[in-house]
Chains A and B, each alone.
Chain A
Amino acid sequence: GAVVSQHPSWVICKSGTSVKIECRSLDFQATTMFWYRQFPKQSLMLMATSNEGSKATYEQGVEKDKFLINHASLTLSTLTVTSAHPEDSSFYICSAMDMSSHEQYFGPGTRLTVT
């Protein structure tokens, strides 16, 4: 079955530093990947749609200069949280859409803790 990986699975960083999270589709190609954020006991909130070879589309209220997205290949999208603050601590989940079937597959998530 289709597999999406995320790296790292968890990260702790100091306030003011930047953190990069990778999302990879392991056995399929994805022109579109999605980045979600999930706070404790809450649902998944779409942050942005990542498109291979073009700029990401951000949801209302999500700062594009703070959450940098790069979708440089058909199997990799990265989310960089710049100048992280404690309120950015959350569970970040990506999904990748198989360009042939249009099915969407989720990664295992990355737990970010900013101290």
Chain B
Amino acid sequence: GESVGLHLPTLSVQEGDNSIINCAYSNSASDYFIWYKQESGKGPQFIIDIRSNMDKRQGQRVTVLLNKTVKHLSLQIAATQPGDSAVYFCAENIFPNAGNMLTFGGGTRLMVKP
């Protein structure tokens, strides 16, 4: 995804529901993708990653889906909790590259209603 970040979309969900956060990336050569969670005033926190040789990876309550055909990445959070409220960013890079640079997407704010 382009790091344009001029608008931060918001996803509002009810506690206990599942959340799906989407990300479109632009570089077809990207082969490593990461989802980060950022709480207000803090640095990004690693959630889950996926390499381009996979289309799905599961963690604890989280699943990342990768569709290379349409260059789309999604993060699914099961049974969303108030503590999941944060801004979520996808990031991409070409692994390994000389600098291991990450390019961040614009981010999505997740708000969980109790």
Contacts and interface: CB of A to CB of B under 8 A. Distances in A.
B100 interface: yes
Contacts of B96: 102
Interface residues of A, number: 25
Contacts, number: 60
A42 B100 CA distance: 22
A108 to B, nearest CB: 5
Say whether chain B's binding surface is mostly helix, strand, loop, or mixed: loop
A41 B8 contact: yes
Contacts of A91: 41
A46 B101 contact: yes
A61 to B, nearest CB: 12
Interface of A: 4, 6, 32, 34, 39, 41-46, 49, 57, 91, 93, 95, 97, 102, 104-109, 111
